[in-house]
Amino acid sequence: MRSGPAARPARAPLAVALCVTLLMLPPGLCAGERRRLACSTCRGIVDRFNQGLADTAKKNFGGGNTAWEEKTLSKYESSEIRLVEIIEKLCDSSNFECNNMVEEYEEHIEKWWFKLKKKYPDLFKWFCIETIEVCCPAGTYGPDCLACHGGSERPCHGNGHCDGDGTRGGDGTCSCNKEYTGDFCLDCSNGYYSTLRNETHSVCTACHAACKTCTGSSNKDCQDCKEGWIKNEEAACVDIDECAASPCKDHQYCLNTDGSFSCKACDASCIGCTGEGSDKCKICASGYTKEDERCTDIDECNLPEKVCMKENQDCVNTSGSYKCVCSEGFEEKDGACLQMQVKYLPVTDDE
Ligand SMILES: *[C@@H]1O[C@H](CO)[C@@H](O)[C@H](O)[C@H]1NC(C)=O
Ligand SMILES: *[C@@H]1O[C@H](CO)[C@@H](O)[C@H](O)[C@H]1NC(C)=O
Ligand SMILES: [Ca+2]
């Protein structure tokens, strides 16, 4: 049904020029983008309009309902004052597209407010779709609101998004959800198999982690194994133990995982290891010694033979080594630990 003046918005030449030069898009595509934008602008205006209706619904009329109030309330309800209040808040001042659209079509909104809103209560439908023709009904797209691929009832069979859906832009083609593929989002993507398929519905479910492609849910239903998996005697895809081939460096150990593996650094106390921690060392690193199956730090400061030989020098045990430092009150000078010189400020006594 068509109602009201149905003039198409005039394509502003400036906007088209901007679109072509700034976005570097072919003019055809650009017009489609502009039509999509126009619809979302219109949708925004209608949302704000409805918000404005809600915000002004009880305006100035708290408390009891006297006869006077009821009369005035119903007068305000469809008054020009209320309409103006709502229209004032339809766009943020910085929103050029919105302000432009409201300015261009304000008469339509007024006409709807005073004459048509009882007959056409859905402002979005009346204004955006049927009157200024910047949007389409859900499930349709393009200048003539054609049905999306897969039909307007369930565009893309409910398994994807129809390009331009609900706008005067787009081309109606489907971008399918990751599980689905094909022009109509009925086929299963690689890694998914069909669990339901009839004329109108298609449901695809993820294969087992081991499969690249499959016909069912288990690792025996794989057509091809995913990388990192291999077919065994029972034709099931199973994890490859990459670690069996010792792929890691000398200071690393290998960790096998489902479908993959990784190389991890050995503990600092090890030279070579078979796993995480100081209890998995092949050999202990220098400064460490095996103690209860673990490579533990040697306390060089506690060896029978003194390691820090200089006078006034203390030994400090560190992980994998030790340090020789001057004792408190002594400082390093020319390779020796000398008593610290306490410096006194010269005292001036001028009296
Ligand atoms: C197709 O499957 C869906 C989902 O199970 C079902 O609702 C629908 O009735 C089926 N249609 C036909 C034609 O069998
Ligand atoms: C110092 O030596 C002891 C051995 O008695 C050791 O347990 C400790 O962890 C070592 N290292 C440090 C940094 O304290
Ligand atoms: Ca593996």
With CA atoms as reference, report the closest residue to 1 among 100, 101, 171, 145. 145
pLDDT at site 7: 39
Distance 130 CA to ligand 2 centre (A): 83
Q: Are 193 and 63 in contact (CB under 8 A)?
A: no
CATH number given to 301-339: 2.10.25.10
pLDDT at site 57: 86
What residue has token string 């016909």?
215
Residue nearest atom 7 of ligand 1, based on CA coordinates: 201
Q: Is 72 in the pocket of ligand 2 (CB under 6 A)?
A: no
Q: Please report, in tens digits, the pLDDT of each residue of the chain (351 residues total).
A: 334 343 334 444 444 455 545 555 555 557 878 889 999 999 999 999 999 999 998 765 555 566 666 666 668 888 999 999 999 999 999 999 999 999 999 999 999 999 999 999 999 999 999 999 999 999 999 999 999 999 999 999 999 999 999 999 999 999 999 999 999 999 999 999 999 999 889 999 999 999 999 999 999 999 999 999 999 999 999 999 999 999 999 999 999 999 999 999 999 999 999 999 999 999 999 999 999 999 999 999 999 999 999 999 999 999 999 999 999 999 998 889 999 887 666 665 554
For 106, 187, 193, 194, 203, the CA distances from 209, given in Å and listed in that order, are 58, 20, 13, 16, 19
Residue nearest atom 9 of ligand 2, based on CA coordinates: 297
Q: Is 289 in the pocket of ligand 2 (CB under 6 A)?
A: no
For the chain, the domains span 13-135, 141-206, 244-298, 301-339
Residue nearest atom 4 of ligand 2, based on CA coordinates: 299
DSSP 320-340: TEEEEEEPTTEEEETTEEEEP
Distance 246 CA to ligand 3 centre (A): 12
Residue nearest atom 8 of ligand 2, based on CA coordinates: 297
pLDDT at site 9: 41
Distance 279 CA to ligand 3 centre (A): 24
pLDDT at site 31: 80
